[in-house]
């Protein structure tokens, strides 16, 4: 997708000249390590990737929002003063939810004509929804010259997904889509929102994403169940650890001492989150000393934990990981995202990329009867004006 195409589509849809057209982009993300830790106040290490949502538009002199989705080939129109959940066209809700959140903080916005599209595979766990939210809030910030910080915009996007769309996501996806940096991974403390962009030295390696192309039908409901289990576990542990507010506040030593008060399922869920937090810290240290082999080992451990303890993997993800690890030159492979389908992330030596592509394409389809998607993903900048 390029600027000329977006401008041409805008002109065709709205019949307007496009001299003052504002165009922005926001990237998808891949999480290298730190899965299901964000909504527990833990640590994550994602990258913004070179696949984006692109949004273009201009102001109107009324309160009407008109939107055209290039990918869905659908038009939607609504009034800012009567924003309602759209059951037929779910994609609208990510935009409408952000606008509702802006209005709730008394942002001075009015109507707009908008087109958007992108090259982030939908439903793959690469956060196309967060990218759409971030593109929306960034677009309206610039279009209406709003005085609002990046952190405030990130929180508004998360609120839109939690309260309006109804998915209790953490803040990682919106954070890295807004503030990621080219050639860096974003190390984020989801409790206090302190962050650092860490140079990702991948000389001789590529980050490769493999899409299972399995529809993630369980992802939303099971995601909310996992979050509820963790929150309930915190309530139980508070009897012994009154100072804790979220699972992140529990040390591994405290967990091992008091885990007996939790049922077996809650023990497994908490074990994953707490040990995954440690793996993220170890991974950041490994990057600091340019120990990519140790980084890969931690990724492999992460997948095992997500499969056995958090139980959010599936046979297709496990097959994809097994195929990748059978290839000499793949130093780390794990599921990434919410789970129950979606993608794996792999660190692959450049010299074996062709072999990797051939093996994954052939073996995955042979074992699942599904054609995979494979993309080399480079760490890119977050939201930006084009």
Our answer to whether residue 71 is catalytic in this structure is: no
236 burial via Cβ count (<10 Å: 0-12, 13-18, 19+): middle
Strands 112-118, 64-69: parallel, antiparallel or unpaired by DSSP?
Answer: parallel
Q: 186-208 as b/e, with b when 16 or more CB fall inside 10 Å?
A: bbbbbeeeebebbebebeebbbb
Nearest to 178 by CA among 146, 153, 207: 153
Nearest to 330 by CA among 225, 204, 238: 204
Domain at 3-201: CATH code: 3.30.230.10
Q: How far is CA 198 from CA 3, 184, 379, in A?
A: 30, 5, 11
- For 268, the token pair is 């497994």
Nearest to 383 by CA among 83, 100, 105, 150: 150
Nearest to 159 by CA among 186, 130, 138, 139: 130
Largest CA distance in the chain: 67
Tens of pLDDT, residue by residue, the chain (386 residues)? 777 888 889 999 998 766 779 999 999 999 999 999 999 999 999 999 999 999 999 999 999 999 999 999 999 999 999 999 999 999 999 999 999 999 999 999 999 999 999 998 877 778 899 999 999 999 999 999 999 999 999 999 999 999 999 887 779 999 999 999 999 999 999 999 999 999 998 889 999 999 999 876 655 678 889 999 999 999 999 999 999 999 999 999 999 999 999 999 999 999 999 999 999 999 999 999 999 999 999 999 999 999 999 999 999 999 999 999 999 999 999 999 888 888 999 999 999 999 999 999 999 999 999 999 999 999 999 999 99
CB 119 within 8 A of CB 111: no
pLDDT at residue number 218: 54
pLDDT at residue number 220: 65
| Catalytic entry in 8, 79, 113, 173 | 173
pLDDT at residue number 217: 60
pLDDT at residue number 125: 74
pLDDT at residue number 371: 96
CB 374 within 8 A of CB 327: no
The HSE-up count of residue 328 (CA atoms within 13 Å, CB side) is 0
Residue length of the chain: 386
Query: Hey, where are the domains in the chain?
Result: 3-201
Nearest to 234 by CA among 261, 272, 194: 261
């Amino acid at each position: 997708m390029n600027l000329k195409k977006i401008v041409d589509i805008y002109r065709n849809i709205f019949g307007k000249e496009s001299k003052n057209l504002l165009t922005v982009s926001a990237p998808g993300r891949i999480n290298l390590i730190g899965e299901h830790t964000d909504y527990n106040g833990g640590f994550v290490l994602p990258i913004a990737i070179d696949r984006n949502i692109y949004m273009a538009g201009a102001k109107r002199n009324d309160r009407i929002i008109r939107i055209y989705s290039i990918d869905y080939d659908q038009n939607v129109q609504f009034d800012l003063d009567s924003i309602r959940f759209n059951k037929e066209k779910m994609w609208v809700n990510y935009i409408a939810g952000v606008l509702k959140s802006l209005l709730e903080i008394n942002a001075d916005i009015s109507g707009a004509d908008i087109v958007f599209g992108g090259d982030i595979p939908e439903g793959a766990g690469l956060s196309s929804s967060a990218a759409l939210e971030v593109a929306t809030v960034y677009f309206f910030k610039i279009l209406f010259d709003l005085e609002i910080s990046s952190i405030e915009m990130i929180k508004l996007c998360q609120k839109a997904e939690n309260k309006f769309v109804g998915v209790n996501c953490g803040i990682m996806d919106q954070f890295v889509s807004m503030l990621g940096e080219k050639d860096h991974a974003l190390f984020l403390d989801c409790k206090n929102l302190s962050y650092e962009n860490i140079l990702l030295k991948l000389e001789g390696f590529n980050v490769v994403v493999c899409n299972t192309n399995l529809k993630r039908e369980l992802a939303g409901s099971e995601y909310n169940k996992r979050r509820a289990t963790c929150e309930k576990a915190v309530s139980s542990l508070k009897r012994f650890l009154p100072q804790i507010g979220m699972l992140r506040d529990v040390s591994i030593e405290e967990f091992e001492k008091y885990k007996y008060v939790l049922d077996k399922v809650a023990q497994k869920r908490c074990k994953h989150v707490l040990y995954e937090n440690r793996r993220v810290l170890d991974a950041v240290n490994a990057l600091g000393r340019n120990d990519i082999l140790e980084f890969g080992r931690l990724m492999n451990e992460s997948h095992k934990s997500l499969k056995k303890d958090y139980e959010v993997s599936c046979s297709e993800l496990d097959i994809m990981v097994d195929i990748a690890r059978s290839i000499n030159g793949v130093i780390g492979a794990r599921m990434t995202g919410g789970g129950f389908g979606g993608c794996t992330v792999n660190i692959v030596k450049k010299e074996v990329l062709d072999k990797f592509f051939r093996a994954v394409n052939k073996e995955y389809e042979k074992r699942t009867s599904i054609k995979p998607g494979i993309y080399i993903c480079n760490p890119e900048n977050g939201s930006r004006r084009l």
